[in-house]
Structure 1
Amino acid sequence: MTSFSVTNEKSPSLITGYAGGTVTVLIWATWLLATRHSAATPLGSIDIGLIRYGVPALALSPVWLKIGLLPKSVPLHLLALMVAGAGAVFFLVATLAIHATPAGSSGILLGGSMPLATALIGVFIFGERPDITRKLGLAAIVGGVLILLVQSLADASLPWTSFVLLPAGAVLWASYTHAFRRSGLTAIQASALIAIWSFLIIAALAGVFGTSLAQASAEDLGLQVLSQGILSGLVAMVAYGTAVKTLGGTQAAAFTAITPVLATLGGGVLLGEEIGLAEIAAAVITGIGVALSTGIAARRR
């Protein structure tokens, strides 16, 4: 007989993976709120990008200096997917959309789409076969996104860019997840390479388009250094990489779908954004999908 229950005994590696996933989503919710808040400051996407990747690039400089910018053991296409998927390209695409999208909706469209995109890439490209529990979880995540989509179409509350750029960002992140898992790099090594390459890319853009860092207040800069550079750019990257290594790409990515719940609550409490029944329902359903698709609800025979 088959039943489903929450597993009480977890190996140390699984506990580490779950801890890494939990830390990641807590920081990601903070990142979404901080990025949304930056829309009301002089800081643009390039400015925030310099902070997000400059801080970890400096902190992890001993790592990337040791292994080199192009490690011989890592295929170039995997490195490119990692830098694009979790680095400069992902950041610029996501930030552009988040500036025009409420935090709760951003969390649903980005965080909710990530596990789905990761699972689909795993199934159709790498031949992964999720069990029925994870399929139900992914279906719940899709349901949460659809609720938000229907609500948006009914009242025209979100621009079309939200529904294009945020899922595109999710696909980029999913590509990074699978590329990192196959790269052979440690979480710290991958974080270091992504940080330095992304910083160089965004620094080049700053040289062309300029920067507004000097116009921002010390308070705004401090908030972004903490949320973007230290927490999101450094701690969350290492934590997520640890989760991918221990849980696998699809299960680790499923944790990101907790972000909508936290971002919705944070957007309402901290940013004063309106939270309706549709947003609450979408966040709750998506959160339930996480519990299933991460494998926390373990299958017992």
Structure 2
Amino acid sequence: MANCEVSVRDVPTESASVHSAGPTRVTGYAWAGLSVIIFSGWFVATRFSVTRELRIWDITALRFGIGALLLAPTIMRGSSRLPWAAWRQGFVFAMLWGVPFVLLVALGLRLTSAAEAASIAPTIMPVFAGVFAFVFMRQSQGPMRWIGYAAILAGLACLLSAAALNRGAPDPVGVAALVGAGGLWAAYTLIFRASGLTATQAAALICIWSAALFLPVYLFFGLSRFALASWSELLLQIIYQGVLMSGVAIFSFNRAVSQLGPSAATAIIALLPAVVAMLAIPVLAETPTLAEGLSIAVIVIGVLLASRPAPSPVHSSVQT
């Protein structure tokens, strides 16, 4: 891997990858499903702590500090060391899916709710990904995908409206933070696929760069509130933020993007509202209203349409 920087023009079109063998796509869906499960629990676990003793800064420190310790050996030992070009790519990754992303989501969770946050950032992300791919990479999305994106947006609007009738309108700053997080997440998925890095390498670089940039500020200003939290809460966050989110979830999502393509992988992540709603019934004893359930169904339909393979480019032949 002498050079990890790839021009946008060098990115293989998604239509070229989606026609891979069936087992590869099945594996990609499995990785995406694992990401959905972990992300769903993350919204609940993060909301749990940021509304108690720990703060946004503590969650960020745990996520990337522990993640860096666990993943650094995979790219900094012996023959696994990466060239400087890969580290430059990793810095860009960290700016998109590292500290800024986590801070925006955590802010949104603090100002809204776990259900609303899970309904906004993951749902708007595939729409951003499709638009970015169309505008900047000239990747055709096809009519079914555009219909799917429209259905996702319509379902999201209905879901937020239904939730507002029951719990009041969500905080506009929190909503803006979550929309911004969705945009960063979408940009990351497109750039990662063009980088040539593996799922493990990208996850390690995100954690290392994020820890290097954030932890000195965190320690210098004495932002830690660990002493105020219980051991059970700390253990929960160490496992979820440091191990599951920084290691397993990033790796599994990267694998899904590699095998399914960014548009299909991000569309599946938009299933988060449905999964969170189902988890909330037994865990939080929260049952969605009929209007919320119908809205989630519309989002699911949009996801199914948006995750369809992109149309293959038509190559015309010139006869002489």
TM-score tier, shorter chain, comes to 0.7 to 0.9
Does residue 155 of structure 2 align to residue 148 of structure 1?
no
Q: Is contact 1:107–1:264 with CA below 8 Å preserved after alignment?
A: no
Task: Report the alpha carbon displacement of residue 288 of structure 1 after superposing the two structures with TM.
Answer: 1.9
Over alpha carbons, which structure has the higher Rg? Answer: 2
TM-score by length of structure 1 reads: 0.88
Equivalent residue, structure 1, for 2:133: 122
Equivalent residue, structure 2, for 1:279: 292
3-state SS, counterpart of residue 233 of structure 2: helix
Equivalent residue, structure 2, for 1:169: 181
* Structure 2 residue identity aligned to 1:72: W
Task: Report the alpha carbon displacement of residue 298 of structure 1 after superposing the two structures with TM.
Answer: 11
Q: Is contact 1:103–1:267 with CA below 8 Å preserved after alignment?
A: no
Q: 1:248 aligns with which of 252, 261, 266?
A: 261
Equivalent residue, structure 2, for 1:33: 44
The CA distance in 1 between the partners of 2:124 and 2:267, in whole Å, is: 9
The CA distance in 1 between the partners of 2:218 and 2:194, in whole Å, is: 32
The CA distance in 2 between the partners of 1:215 and 1:266, in whole Å, is: 28
Does residue 197 of structure 2 align to residue 191 of structure 1?
no
Task: Report the alpha carbon displacement of residue 296 of structure 1 after superposing the two structures with TM.
Answer: 7.7
Task: Report the alpha carbon displacement of residue 292 of structure 1 after superposing the two structures with TM.
Answer: 1.8
The 1:274/1:36 distance shift into structure 2, 3 A limit, reads: farther
The CA distance in 2 between the partners of 1:213 and 1:289, in whole Å, is: 41
Equivalent residue, structure 2, for 1:224: 237
Instruction: Kindly report the root-mean-square deviation, in angstroms, between the aligned alpha carbons of the 2 structures.
Output: 2.4
TM-score by length of structure 2 reads: 0.83
Does residue 249 of structure 2 align to residue 236 of structure 1?
yes
The CA distance in 1 between the partners of 2:115 and 2:63, in whole Å, is: 21
Q: Is contact 1:52–1:229 with CA below 8 Å preserved after alignment?
A: yes
- Deviation track 1:18-76 (CA, whole Å, cap 9, x = no partner) reads 111110011100001101111332111111111111222111121232466x8433383
Task: Report the alpha carbon displacement of residue 273 of structure 1 after superposing the two structures with TM.
Answer: 4.9
Q: Is contact 1:25–1:256 with CA below 8 Å preserved after alignment?
A: yes
Unaligned runs of 5+ in 2: 1-19, 313-320
Does residue 162 of structure 2 align to residue 133 of structure 1?
no
The 1:16/1:250 distance shift into structure 2, 3 A limit, reads: same
Task: Report the alpha carbon displacement of residue 100 of structure 1 after superposing the two structures with TM.
Answer: 2.1
Equivalent residue, structure 1, for 2:192: 180
Task: Report the alpha carbon displacement of residue 293 of structure 1 after superposing the two structures with TM.
Answer: 1.3
The CA distance in 1 between the partners of 2:104 and 2:293, in whole Å, is: 26
Query: Percent identity at matched positions?
Result: 31
Count of matched residue pairs: 289
